[in-house]
Structure 1
């Protein structure tokens, strides 16, 4: 399987408000940047959308390392929140419905063909790919 490294970020002006998402995909020395926007959304939805749209770019099963500065996104996999949400009928440990269920289910679907490892990267700490995603996502907020 090909090894692909993906950096993602989401941003929002207001929460909710206009939002942007971005991803940088790196494979075999090649780099691809993607980004998009939504008129009325939340930061968490943009973080999820960035990973979904990045994974949709892959044309064959890959071993993927996804780097995000979103604790919400990374912890959901590293701490097995998603597994527990599914087991509990998409309810949190406190019994409330899981927010953004539609995007979590879409993310799980686009992850299915791949082997995905999630990594937390510190935002605004000089990682060039994370910084690039941040700039792209914020630029998309403005249109």
Structure 2
């Protein structure tokens, strides 16, 4: 398994902005724009991470401090696509070009997202945040942009990643931070109060035909079978 952190930074939000993904000190990348938003940075960091690892078969564990990114890519996107890339209230999806590029980049990949609290001393999240912010500052001050070495393959996949991944839900995320963009969602069958949130395992027995239909439908919607099942539940 490849474990990587992805983060974005925008001074003034919007303002000079940067993005970064980080595996270790010898394997990371960063970039940005003279003017952008924090959400653009967060999304681009994930997109560039998937592009950098597109040639690999290992499962990817992406650590993010953005609930917007995690929810958009694991919960909201299938509904957006079915509605012609519109949100539940009918308004256009924000950052549409990035979302569509991410939809394409994630297709067929094995991945999970893990929410981590930002600015709380998480080593990999802090490393990604520092690099994203350094790019934003460089654009603000007109300095050299620290782009990083890119994917170097320095980080070997963990041995336990050789087992088949289970249909595991993304890490629970807290309530949105003030001003963060969210998407109104209908309650799910197993919705829990925040103080009751915990992991649940659901086992389904499918015939070969049922399994094939599930896989075919997931491919048609551009999601993994696990994501399709979670959406149905």
Q: TM-score, normalised by structure 1?
A: 0.90
Residue in structure 2 matched with residue 42 of structure 1 by the alignment: 37
Deviation at 1:142, TM superposition (A): 1.5
Mean alpha-carbon deviation: is it higher for 104-113 or for 82-91? 104-113
Residue in structure 2 matched with residue 76 of structure 1 by the alignment: 72
Higher relative contact order (CA 8 A, sep 6+): 1
SS in 2 for 1:62: coil
CA distances 1:26-73 after superposition (whole Å, capped 9, x unpaired): 6xxx95111111111111011000011111111223311111001100
* Pairs aligned (count): 137
Residue in structure 2 matched with residue 99 of structure 1 by the alignment: 94
Residue in structure 2 matched with residue 124 of structure 1 by the alignment: 119
Q: Which has the larger radius of gyration?
A: 2
CA distance in 2, matches of 1:50, 1:66: 10
Do the aligned partners of 1:77 and 1:118 also contact (CA within 8 Å) in 2?
A: no
CA distance in 1, matches of 2:35, 2:117: 26
Residue in structure 2 matched with residue 61 of structure 1 by the alignment: 57
CA distance in 1, matches of 2:87, 2:108: 26
CA distance in 2, matches of 1:69, 1:31: 22
Do the aligned partners of 1:85 and 1:91 also contact (CA within 8 Å) in 2?
A: yes
CA distance in 2, matches of 1:19, 1:32: 21
Extract unaligned runs of 5+ from structure 2.
139-233
Q: TM-score, normalised by structure 2?
A: 0.56
Do the aligned partners of 2:23 and 2:124 also contact (CA within 8 Å) in 1?
A: no
Residue in structure 1 matched with residue 169 of structure 2 by the alignment: none
Aligned-CA RMSD value = 1.5
Do the aligned partners of 1:90 and 1:97 also contact (CA within 8 Å) in 2?
A: yes
Greater strand percent: which structure? 1
CA distance in 1, matches of 2:18, 2:95: 16
Residue in structure 1 matched with residue 18 of structure 2 by the alignment: 20
Extract unaligned runs of 5+ from structure 1.
none
Structure 1 stretches of at least 4 aligned residues deviating more than 6 Å after TM superposition = none
Residue in structure 2 matched with residue 111 of structure 1 by the alignment: 106
Residue in structure 1 matched with residue 136 of structure 2 by the alignment: 141
